[in-house]
């Protein structure tokens, strides 16, 4: 398919609990184009986070594959996966988006340095954009929940990724911060990023071009 920057094909993922085999994903497939926002919805335990971890190359599927801009990230050597993530993927998870010993601005600088890209936005400008221009030297532990979410999104966006993956980006924030985060995501979409979001938020899902609903590890 022309213009596809993210392809996940027939993904299976299972875990063993004692002698029991539990399927977290059952043959899930999806494709994203540049400038497309897709929301993954479904009840807790439906496989949303597992899907995002596989798509981001943080976990390997037991069956199927994931390709980012035509290059497979599934079951690739870790150096290849790390390069693909650094160059092409922005990741915002539910927590752990910031190194706790680094100031907010230094988290952005580190991410940009790891990407190896040149001509990236100034970290100060990105933090201004997310409303954290006054918190550039703050340590993560001093941020509120909404500030931490916006800082994590700034880090994910700092390398101008082809693919942006967000797991519950508005899950722990108030309505005002949710509105701000949705606005930032829509701006990234307008700039051409392909965005995949796992969410329980009807407001955020309502902004998506498509909704992929999961139930018990399969597309509902």
Q: What is the pLDDT of residue 105?
A: 98
Position 21 confidence tier, pLDDT thresholds 50, 70, 90 = confident
Mean pLDDT within 124-144: 95
User: Mind listing the pLDDT tens digit for each residue in 28-65?
Assistant: 999 999 999 999 999 999 999 999 999 999 999 999 99
> Mean pLDDT across the chain, nearest whole number?
94
Q: What is the pLDDT of residue 199?
A: 96
Pick the CATH number of 33-60+77-219 from 2.60.40.10, 3.30.1330.60, 3.30.530.20, 3.40.50.300: 3.40.50.300
Torsion of CA 162, 165, 171, 175, to 10 degrees: 10
User: Mind listing the pLDDT tens digit for each residue in 8-18?
Assistant: 999 999 988 88
- Among 150-164, 171-185, 196-210, which is the least confidently predicted range? 171-185
CA–CA distance, 209 with 141 (Å, rounded to integer): 35
Position 181 confidence tier, pLDDT thresholds 50, 70, 90 = very high
Mean pLDDT within 133-158: 95
Asked if 190 and 160 count as a contact pair (C-beta separation under 8 A), the reply is: no
User: Mind listing the pLDDT tens digit for each residue in 61-105?
Assistant: 999 999 999 999 999 999 999 999 999 999 999 888 999 999 999
Mean pLDDT within 114-136: 94
Asked if the model's pLDDT at residue 143 lies above 60, the reply is: yes
Position 172 confidence tier, pLDDT thresholds 50, 70, 90 = confident
Q: What is the pLDDT of residue 178?
A: 92
Q: Answer yes or no: pTM beyond 0.75.
A: yes
Position 1 confidence tier, pLDDT thresholds 50, 70, 90 = very low
- SS3 letters across the chain: CCCEEEEEEEEEEEEEECCEEEEEEEEEEEEEECCCEEEEECCCCCCHHHHHHHHCCCCCCCEEEEEECCEECCCCCHHHHHHHHHHHEEEECCCCCCCCCCCHHHHHHHHHHHHCCCCCCCHHHHHHHCCCHHHCCCCHHHCCHHHHHHHHHHHHHCCCCCEEEEECCCCCCCHHHHHHHHHHHHHHHHCCCEEEEECCCHHHHCCCCEEEEEECCEEC
Asked if 164 and 93 count as a contact pair (C-beta separation under 8 A), the reply is: no
């Amino acid at each position: 398919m022309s213009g596809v920057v993210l392809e996940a094909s027939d993904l299976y993922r299972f875990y063993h609990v004692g002698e029991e085999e539990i399927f977290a994903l059952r043959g899930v497939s999806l494709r994203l184009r540049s400038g497309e926002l897709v929301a993954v919805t479904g009840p807790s335990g439906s496989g949303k986070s597992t899907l995002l971890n596989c798509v981001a190359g943080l976990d390997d599927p037991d069956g199927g594959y994931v390709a980012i801009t035509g290059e497979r990230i599934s079951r690739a050597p870790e150096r290849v996966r790390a390069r693909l993530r650094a160059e092409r993927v922005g990741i915002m998870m539910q927590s752990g988006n910031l190194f706790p010993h680094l100031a907010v601005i230094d988290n952005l600088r580190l991410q940009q340095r790891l990407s190896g890209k040149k001509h990236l936005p100034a970290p100060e400008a990105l933090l201004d954009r997310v409303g954290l221009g006054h918190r550039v030297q703050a340590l993560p532990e001093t941020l509120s929940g909404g500030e931490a979410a916006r800082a994590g999104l700034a880090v994910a966006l700092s390398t101008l990724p082809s693919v942006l993956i967000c797991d519950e980006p508005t899950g722990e924030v108030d309505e005002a911060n949710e509105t701000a985060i949705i606005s930032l995501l829509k701006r990234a979409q307008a700039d051409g990023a392909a965005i995949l979001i796992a969410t329980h938020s009807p407001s955020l899902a309502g902004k998506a071009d498509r909704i992929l609903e999961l139930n018990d590890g399969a597309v509902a």
